Amino acid sequence: MSRSFAAAVFRASSRYGRWILPINARPWWRAAVVAALLAVAAPARAEPIVVLGLGDSLMAGYGLSEGSSFPNRLEAALRQRGHDVRLVNAGVSGDTSAGGKARLEWSLAEAPDAAIVEFGANDGLRGLSPEAMRENLDAILTTLEARGIPTLLAGMRAPPNLGREYADAFQKVYADLAAEHPVVFYPFFLDGVAADPALNQEDGIHPNSDGVAAIVERILPTVEELLSRVKERQANRG
């Protein structure tokens, strides 16, 4: 850019508070300045909120058609309500809380803004120690908290055939962790769906498409609470 052209532009800018391009300026310089001004004036487009769905087959969408998993349906429901979000399906069928803890680090490669933690179904089906499950979930929540990732903890219930004592100890794990960590707590992921033949697949364990829809409808307000925490955190960061 010639010194005379640059000086003319900056003089006009200072005097009138806006850019005035000399008529005899070279076309490509005029185009370059206009493009630069448009880039400055245009507001930056916000990126969608990335939510990590960390869990087992209930998160992965076992037995469901493509696009019918919980993360897919939840993302669609949230977008319909005006939330710009992207759900990452980090569910692995058959996974226990120990498996979730083991793969947490590489699951965080997506750099999520929030997380939904859903484990315990396989711990219960295998009769694993509630105390061990507690340690695993505590480690997951501690890591997410240290990374500044707002988290929703979804609870689970033990199969009734394992006895009342086991069931009580199992359920207490989630309540205790919710009290110890700054999570959004949803006490039972399968609330309203468990044991209902119309909402489950033939195995009686995994929700069918209607079951997933019911889960999404019930958990939606709690997920929106999670998103409000994300937005508050983003606002505080400026």
193-222 pLDDT per residue, tens: 999 999 999 999 999 999 999 999 999 999
Tokens of 165: 């004592």
Beta-bridge partner residues of 53 = 89, 116
Q: Which positions are annotated as active-site residues?
A: 57, 203, 206
Q: Are 91 and 59 in contact (CB under 8 A)?
A: yes
Q: Are 93 and 60 in contact (CB under 8 A)?
A: yes
- What 200-203 contacts at long range (C-beta under 8 Å, 24+ apart), as own/partner pairs, is 201/63, 203/63
Dump pLDDT digits (tens) for 191-200: 999 999 999 9
- In the predicted model, is pLDDT for residue 39 greater than 70? no
CATH architecture of 49-237: 3-Layer(aba) Sandwich (3.40)
Provide mean pLDDT across the span 40-53. 74
Q: Are 37 and 101 in contact (CB under 8 A)?
A: no
Dump pLDDT digits (tens) for 136-187: 999 999 999 999 999 999 999 999 999 999 999 999 999 999 999 999 999 9
Q: Where are the domains of the chain?
A: 3-41, 49-237
User: Any idea which of 6-15, 66-75, 160-169 has the lowest mean pLDDT?
Assistant: 6-15
